Structure 1
Amino acid sequence: MAPDVSLDGTALLSWAERAVEALSTRREEINGLNVFPVPDADTGSNMTFTMEAALAEATRLDEVEKESAHAVAAALAAGSVRGARGNSGVVLSQVISGIAQAAASGNIDGECLKNSLAIAVRLVDRAITEPVEGTVVTVLRATAVAAAQAGRGLRETAVAAVDAARTALMKTPSQLEVLRSAGVVDAGGAGLVVLLQSLLDEIEGIAREDGVIDSFGAPLSAHPVTVDNAVCDGRHGRHRELEIMCFIRLSGGNTLGSLRATLAEMGDSLILAPADTDPDGPARAATVHIHSSVPGPVIEELYRAGEVSDLRLEVLPESPQVETLHRAVMALAPDGPLAELYRQAGAIVITPGSPGDDATDTVSRILAELRSRGIGEVILLPNGLLTRREMVSAELAAHAADRTMTILPTARLVSGIAALAVHDPEQPVAVDSYAMAEAAGSMRTAILQRAEKAALTLAGPCSRGDILVTSGTGVLLVADDLQTALEQACTRLLGRGGELVTLLLTDEAAAEIDLARFTDQLPGVNSAVERGAEIEVMVYPAEGLAHLAEIGVE
């Protein structure tokens, strides 16, 4: 076939036949990659069965209908949705449904392929309750983005899609710990690459026996990758679950949204893939997929919601042992109570070296922790205890060790505490880092230290022994004693509002400050807070702090 013509119904049907052959040929190879969400070695089989069901439905069309790309695509979509097996099969059915929706206006050209992939991403996002990065979902998204940016021709778009899918597939081990531990790429993503490559082969007119077959860089044996069986603490792949699949037509006032909300409480790996190919019509039928340890209530709920057919149950193998701490927060803190505070909050603590120590010592300890704990992603809280040079060295060392490091702008130990309070390892690292950086940045901070000599500051003259309150890079105020300095500093910091004051006090500061007096006067100093509102004060011992105290207001 010429490179940049469109696919009619006959060519689309030929692609479906080619895809079935390609998936069948590589079934065992893809099965061997299958370790997530459970190592049941059936992803290749499920995708092959789903594509066979799609093809069987399309071959029932009469000869006239087979010439229509829309009719063939709609039949492929209907067959794949009804015959979908497993997570990967349901995702595959949504990709084909995307083609059916995009092909409504005619043959499949470059623009149609772009739209198909974009629609498929939306359908998959809608179908999967808890998408996980590093899976076929990630590969599909990267494919759609690359296709959208490609040239107008069908071949150009398909080439961009295949290249992007392969690249995204190779990155999946860096996104999902269980893949990295097993040394494989995502099985569903591999199946999608096979599907797209078969489409490109069809567009280019390559004979089926000469189609591209590249290794996925993983074992090619028929035996699945083995993972030690053990209890898994994560949500995905819970111990001795059943995979439940069926096709459902809703009855009465039931909706897919209400069914999804109910089933989400009964298991994981939940997918509801609408069977309706009309994007504007109400979804009244869907393929359901869920892993659950309570199959009875799940099945009861399905029959309550509508007419159930093609009900299938499969006992899943015991869950693999997955290291749930694939991401960690690492914080710089002085040895002592502050370090213990950070540890209790879940951080890995690195104590900085003494002044004059080799800067590489701290960086080496950071890297050693990354390697010894098997951490793939780390969020680093420097807390004002790392120089810019040390941060550069730490990031470069992490990159060289194939670890992802995000350094947050925590200039003080107290702002690091604020960041750690909102850490959510369930979120993607970029989202988690953003929330933590936002929490640290919204905290107004100051430090209290004694003046070592008389000087003229931005806040006025000071004598040796006076208390300097520094906020940012400038002196905020000068006071004769710690009590006055603390009260006046909080008055300034609370002037723009706030409901929580965090104090880090050394033993020396704690001995000189009357906390009862301090807290008694707090409600009166904050004009931005409604009268009578209470301000919470948290006090932490901070021996080892380089100054007398730190204040944080948020």
Structure 2
Amino acid sequence: MSYPSTLDAQGLRNWATRAVGELSHRRDEINALNVFPVPDSDTGSNMTHTMEAAVEELNNGGDVADALALGAVRGARGNSGMVLSQVLRGVAESTVDSVIDGGVFARSLQQAVELVDRAITEPVEGTVITVLRAAAEAAENAAARPSATLHGIVSAAITAARTALEHTPSQLPALREAGVVDAGGAGLVILLESLLAEIEGTAGHTGLSEPEAVTELEVIFFFEGDIEALQAFLTPLGDSLVIARATEHSANVHIHSQQAGTVIETAFGAGKVTNLRLEVLPAYADPAAKKPVSRRVFAAAPPGPITNLLESAGVTVVSPDAPITAEEEDIVLATGLSTDTGAGRVVPAQSLAAALAAISVYEPDNSNTGAVVAAMRDAAKSMRVAYPSQETPQSIIATCRDLLAEGGEQVTILSALDLDEEEISQHLHVDVMALEVPDIATEIGVE
């Protein structure tokens, strides 16, 4: 079979978007492997977030390879995310006009190895670094052959990466004792497999390529503009459309669609889009066969904007001491509740900002409640929260800067003060959502 000898800028963009879907789809699987260096079960989440940050940077225009590298480096989380960002940086430094051929790909991996070696002072064998080095060496050897092709070089790199991944338990006692391979290495293999799938033009992830299956993408983004017009545009393009308003002209948007490209183009044409995230949803054979999900989400929140925002996303808001009759499939956002939560699945949220982060990834149409809860818990856990020492705009901005020193791409501020979110955004150079909530001590979340 004949495959393209190069990938152009659009192909590179497609690879990155495909990788987001693959990593997101297998996030829980990668998280479960995470036992080294700390068993904190976040490697899959970190790598997914890093690729999401890379794809979001494409919104700012410019060279595709440079934008992906910049977004990944800025948004990198954890060691695994950092290594992934250096792979994209290697691509950016090896390509011209975002075009990748076999030679460019091989040089990209070699460059990534050099970048990672400089970034990590004490590299440990049996980790993602080992897998990356094996892939780079195999790609270099394959590229040296007279008949080398992009497809052949990428295939050789994947074969070597898979072999290196299988051997990681023999190199790290922590992996051997747990009976798992390295989580970061597994994520890197998925990234490379996504590239091969883009070259071959195959379907998203294993098990979803049956001809009769229908694959949907979950599209989530923050929108600023004419919300009524956007809703009219998006309604015919999918289902599970949720528009959670922050103000009259800004909202968090969630939709499931088989026309994700059209959804994204429509949104960009209608206003400003930020914090874009994509996730491949499980396939189903017949759209008409989908069964409605009978599930409720409960949360405690003060009256006003927070309650309005949660209710617009389908949440049942209760007072902190109100009894909850949650059933097994129901979800309870534990935000200051002082009563029994019943039999519901609890999503710990130590702050209102964390609760908003959790509800932003809620999938009302996903019947797998366990997967939904896992994603919401991950989002709540990822939200870093702080409280300014004084209730003044200056103190709030200073606290935001302290939080952003550890990274972040969006700031949520809940305050009794009437804050100018555009002015704060200009100070911080990130997206800011500020909600005026009466009688509340200012709470700042960064994600």
TM-score in terms of structure 2 length: 0.46
TM-score in terms of structure 1 length: 0.37
Quick check: which has more Rg, 1 or 2? 1
